[in-house]
Amino acid sequence: MKFGILVNEGPYTHQASDSAYLFVKAALEKGHQIYRVFFYHDGVNNATKYTEPPQDDRHIVNRWSKLAEQYGIDLVVCVAAALRRGIKDELLAPGFRISGLGQLVEAGIQGDRLVVFGD
């Protein structure tokens, strides 16, 4: 099965990012495909390379970057939501790119399912 993923919440304010990451990782390990992960609303905060959690906490941004590198996952950040929050291309962690809502629509069309994490 091919999944499109939508993440609507920030990395440390809601469980949505952790849940999405664990879902994607489990799906890949079971042989499913991830067409794209789209970050929208506060979810765009998952993409900033300047995130620095305490050393004893998980580093959600790095988790996404490593997963994208390992599996070639397309991590797309909504341009309008990113700009509203002061996030530009030069602030993105490795593996993330900025694009428009058309990328979300395409993920919904190309995937067998679009799974939404967060409100």
Residues with active-site annotation: 78
Query: Running DSSP on this structure, what letter comes out for residue 1?
Result: -
How far apart are the two ends of the chain, measured CA to CA in Å? 24
* Amino acid making up residue 114: L
**How far is residue 74's CA from residue 55's CA, in Å, rounded to a whole number?**
27
Please check whether residue 34 is in contact with residue 27, taking contact to mean a CB–CB distance below 8 angstroms.
yes
**How far is residue 7's CA from residue 104's CA, in Å, rounded to a whole number?**
11
